[in-house]
Every structure is written in structure tokens, then in C-alpha cells.
Structure 1
Amino acid sequence: MIKARFYGSSRLPYFEGWYLKQQNGRDTVALIPAIHIDRRGGCSASLQVITNEGSYAVKYPIRQFSVQKRPAVLRLGNNIFSERGCHLFCQTPELDLKGMLRYGPMSRPAADIMGPFRFIPFMECRHSVFSLAHRVNGYIIVNGKCYYFCDGTGYMEGDCGRSFPRRYLWTQANIGGNSVMLSVADIPFGGIHFSGCIASVYLRGEEYRFATYHGAQVQALHDGQVVIRQGSDILAARLLEPAPHPLYAPRFGDMSRVIHESPSCKVQYIFKKRKNVLLNAVTSQASFEDAWNQ
């Protein structure tokens, strides 16, 4: 079972961050604590917050970031992040943030989402999924607006490496007690580039994995639509109504790239296993990033 962890590295440049999303059936709030070290060794930390209404970014000096490794706990200023929940307190001219969240047991993927690729050194970006779905209780106040979570749903993942992929598409949704995560990225490897994909469909307590290392291939990727096939199994996602907000992403350890994420938008997901449709759902609370053509 894959628990939340902070990898860390002495190689430069480097970034590492967690993505913690919580939803209450109407609202979405995602929290992204991260550290970043550029090619010159300049270190800093940041907290990004994204809601249905907008996105906010706060920089911190690196001395205000610390890690407890087992169990994994990130401390950023007066904010604390862990598998058990979050304590939030941040006051700047742009962001007034307060909150307390309690997380229920994590629904963990059975194995590392990167599969054998996790053993390859010097990969541009390593992706982790810590919880496919879990319960969320508590509240978050963002600039005076309170978001309550009573048996809400959560999702937790992480990324680390040098840079986000040059081109990628990522989407995730909690649908009832089920969830879908799908990512396609342009991966540089040994002087060449290839399109790699990873996906996890969590249905009724069982995980179905799609991945390049299992033979999955990208069949279509255009105009907010992605289709991947693995043998006779198919997973498709189609963006129906985007609602993007800007976020900062790492480029050689420096948070200088601007991408756009729709934290809560309408997406259709279809999952077929041996031609049997196990999932065909449209949700208005999906998250979607399409940086394939940005």
C-alpha cells in the first residue's frame, strides 16, 4: 500500500509538492504545499489554493518549511498537512486562510502508480497517488467565504522532480464513492520523447489500472478529449464545460510556468472492460488540466 511520503533530493534543480483536494458536493478546495530549488540553488516554498471562484499563491521562505517523514507531515508556516487532515492559517494581503480538516481512512492504490518507471533515475517528473478517495470533515475559510465539509470527499497525490512535463493532460474526479484519475504526458527519455499514460479507476472498492508499463496506449488526445486503450479495455474523458484558473508550475525547479486548472468543471468519463461499460458518468465536480497545447 502506498502511503503519503515526501521524497526529497539533493539534486538540482528540484521541486516537490502535494495536492490535497476536498469537495462537499457543491464546492471544491484544493491545497498545494510545495518546495522548489532552482538551478542556482535558490530555495523557497509556496502554498497554492484553488477554489471554484479563483486561485491564490503565497510564497514562504524555505526556513518556514519542514518535513516529518514517518508518518509524513508537511509544515509550511502555520499550516500543517498530513494523511490525517490539515490545519490552515495564512494571512497575507491577497489571502486570508483558516481551516481545520479531518480525513478518514485513505483508499490507497495497491501499488505505486509509476510502476517500474519509479526505478529510473533522473526522470523529469515523478507522480504519486496517495489516496484515491477518502472522507473529509471540517471547514476552510478563504477570504471570508466558508466551505463546510460534512462527510465530503477527498483525493491526495504528489509530484516531484525537475519540471512538470512540457505537454500533459491530467484529470481527476470523485464520483459517489468511486474515483477516476487519468494522466497523459510527453516524457523525455534517452534523447527521445514518447507519450506515457497512467490512470486509476476506483469502483466499488476495486482499483483498475491503466499504464504504459501495462501496454496502455493513447488512442486520441485533442480538444479536451482523451482516450486510452489497454488490450480490450478503454478509458475516456471528455471536457464538456471548462472553468480554468491560473496556477504556478515548476520549470527547472523555479515556479515560473503558468498553467490553468479547472478545479470543478463538467467532464464525462467512460470506462469499458472487455466491452462491458462499468462506468459512464458526467460530473460537474471534476478537475481538469490540459497543458498539451499550452
Structure 2
Amino acid sequence: MIKLVRNPDIYHGKNERSNFFEGWYFKLVQPRTGDTYCFIPGIFLGKEGNSHIFIQVLKGNEKNFKYLRYRENQFKASTSEFNFQVGGSSFSLKGISLDINQQYERIFGTLYFDNIVRWPDSAINPGSMGFYNYLSFMQCYSQVCAVDGNIRGKLSINGRIVDFTGGKLYIEKNWGKAFPYSYIWAQGNSFNDGDGSITCSIAHIPMPFPMKSFTGFLIGIYAKGKFYKFTSINRSSLSISCEEEKVILKTYNKNYFLKIEAFYKQGTFMKLYAPRDGNMIPVASETLQGELNVTLFDKKRGSMIFNDRSSSAGIEFSENYMDLIYK
């Protein structure tokens, strides 16, 4: 148990039989065109014989989504490191090797990952969720595996060779019983100046009686070689507002102030599948064509640390995400 808590990257489902999911999110940005792809491999263990393995494939610029199912015996995972297989495809922190041939999707090739930036953690606060990883009753756990990274290699995607060399990488994962019913998520690391990465997750966190449910958030920004955290754990404050096709997040602690403006077009969203009520159903909407304006300010020095705009940003909402804004 302690090994899993302190190593949130690795597979957590070895002893699970039902009412469990685990999925990894690999976001890849092609450096010259900005075309953005996402592969979400995972496992779902249901209660009514609907357990299966899956890979969700998102082609952001085509607004194309596929949910590919595999048999349970087509999943193999290491219990000591971030390394697992779905069918003929393998996934790790060092790279991915894809061999997909389903639903008119033929994707194969190998990509290597370099210069991985990790979310700083400790034994007391392991991973990006920190001490919440020690609580066994959480509905959903989250881990940012790679805040930023570079890609080498090519993929053949339905007969077209896509060279990702020099492109940007982001990896995270979720596991538990179900996805949050209300959440907002945003991520970007394709900034105009070429440096920096930001990830943001805000969700309604249900708690068992007599504890009270709350809005939890994990926001991390890597800028100019340094990592800054704004989270529920370190007692940062957060405000959320929205305008037409725009969400504005403001968070601060005693040292820093961060503002994120997330821009999106409604017509670019794709429905994603997530675990809810014992099934994998399309409850999430995501675009890979978003843009993020990010400003980080040093309150004590009265100076700007970071001010830039990221294209090819991922922005995702649950169906009732507005509950987080008008709570």
C-alpha cells in the first residue's frame, strides 16, 4: 500500500476486481504544425460484466475521437515502475510504442521522451495530490506524471507520417471509483517563447460523513526553470469566472499571484468517456485547440515572472462544471 501511495505513477489495480478504473493521458504536440494528438490507455473494471481495456484516441485538429476496446487479458502492467501494455502497444515515462488497428484507425510507430519535468514531491506529499494519496476513501485520484517534456520519433497515422521530433509532451493519470461530477481541467506547454508549462485541475471532492465536500484544485506552473504550486494542500486561494468561450482562473498564495485565461471554441470539443455510475460513458468534453493566456506575478518583489500565451492547449469540462463557478 505505501509503495503505491509513494509511487502514484505506477499501476494501482493489481488487487482490484470491480468498481475501479485507471487511465493514463498522453498529450503530444507536433512542433511545426501544432497538430495535437492524445492517447488515453486504461482499464475499467465494472460490476456487471462490462469490464474491459481501452485506448481513447483524440486528433485535436480534426476533431476526431475513437474509443477502442480490448479484452481484459490484453492488459499487462508492471507493479514496480511506470510501464504497461495494451494489446500490441506499450506505454512508459520513457516513450510509447503504438500498434493500433481498430475502427479504421491504423496507428503505429515509436516515440521517445526526453527532458521530462516532474511535479516536485516528498514522502509526506507524494505526487501532485500530496497527502490526499494516503486517504483510502477518495472517489478519484490524480497524478501529473510529466509536467513537460520533449519528443523524438515518428508515427504513421492512417498512412500519413507525422514527425513529432522537437514536439511537446504532457502525461497525467487518474484512478479510483469514478470521475468527479463537476470539474474543470486545462493544460498547455506550447508557449510562444518556447518555454514553460502549466496544468490545472479543479473538481468537486465528495467526502464521507461527517466531513464536508469541497472544491479541490491542483495548479502547477513550470516557468524559467522553476516550479510553482497553487493547490488546496498549500492553502492557496482560487476564484473562477467565465465569459463567452472563456474561463478565467485566479489563484494566489502569500508569495505569488497566477492568472489563467482559457479560450476555446465550442465547435472544437469532443466527447470523452469516463467512469460514472459503474459504466464508461461520454460525460467529458475536451478540446485540444484551446489557448491559454498565463500571467505569474511575484507579490513580494512586485515583478512579473511569466507572461505568455500557449496554443494547442487542452481544455476539458464535465457536463455540470458550472456548479464550480456558481456554487
| TM-score tier (shorter) | over 0.9
**Partner in structure 2 of residue 23 of structure 1:** 29
Contact 2:19/2:46, CA 8 A, preserved across alignment: yes
**Partner in structure 1 of residue 242 of structure 2:** 222
Aligned-pair distance for 1:197?
Answer: 0.8
Aligned-pair distance for 1:171?
Answer: 0.6
TM-score using structure 2 length: 0.84
**Partner in structure 2 of residue 288 of structure 1:** 315
Is 1:150 the counterpart of 2:177? The answer is: no
Contact 1:168/1:183, CA 8 A, preserved across alignment: yes
Aligned-pair distance for 1:284?
Answer: 1.8
Contact 1:79/1:89, CA 8 A, preserved across alignment: yes
Is 1:213 the counterpart of 2:245? The answer is: no
**Partner in structure 2 of residue 5 of structure 1:** 10
Alignment of 1:121-140 (within 5 A): 121-140=136-155
Runs (4+) of structure 1 moved beyond 4 Å? none
**Partner in structure 1 of residue 46 of structure 2:** 38
TM-score using structure 1 length: 0.93
Distance in 2, matches of 1:278 and 1:253, equals 45
Distance in 2, matches of 1:267 and 1:7, equals 32
Select which of 289, 298, 302 maps to 1:273: 298
TM-aligned CA distance change 1:3 to 1:164, over 3 Å: closer
**Partner in structure 2 of residue 178 of structure 1:** 196
CA offsets, 1:207-260, max 9 Å, x none? Answer: 111110111222124342222222352222222233312211111452113311
Find the residue that maps to 2:117 and give its secondary structure.
Answer: coil
Contact 1:164/1:251, CA 8 A, preserved across alignment: yes
Contact 1:133/1:177, CA 8 A, preserved across alignment: no
* Structure 1, gaps ≥5 residues long: none
Residue 264 of structure 1 aligns with an amino acid whose one-letter code is Q
Residue 124 of structure 1 aligns with an amino acid whose one-letter code is Q
**Partner in structure 1 of residue 264 of structure 2:** 241
Residue 240 of structure 1 aligns with an amino acid whose one-letter code is F
Task: Flag the structure with higher strand content.
Answer: 1
Distance in 2, matches of 1:143 and 1:281, equals 34
* Structure 2, gaps ≥5 residues long: 1-5, 122-126
* More off after superposition, 203-212 vs 188-197: 188-197
* More off after superposition, 255-264 vs 116-125: 255-264
User: What percent of counterpart residues are identical?
Assistant: 25
Alignment of 1:94-133 (within 5 A): 94-111=104-121, 112-133=127-148
Paired residues in the alignment total 294
CA offsets, 1:99-133, max 9 Å, x none? Answer: 21011142111111111111111201100011111
TM-aligned CA distance change 1:234 to 1:252, over 3 Å: farther
Distance in 2, matches of 1:209 and 1:2, equals 19
Residue 288 of structure 1 aligns with an amino acid whose one-letter code is I
Residue 235 of structure 1 aligns with an amino acid whose one-letter code is L
Contact 1:13/1:252, CA 8 A, preserved across alignment: no
**Partner in structure 2 of residue 194 of structure 1:** 214
* More off after superposition, 135-144 vs 164-173: 135-144
Aligned-pair distance for 1:2?
Answer: 6.3
Larger radius of gyration, structure 1 or 2? Answer: 2
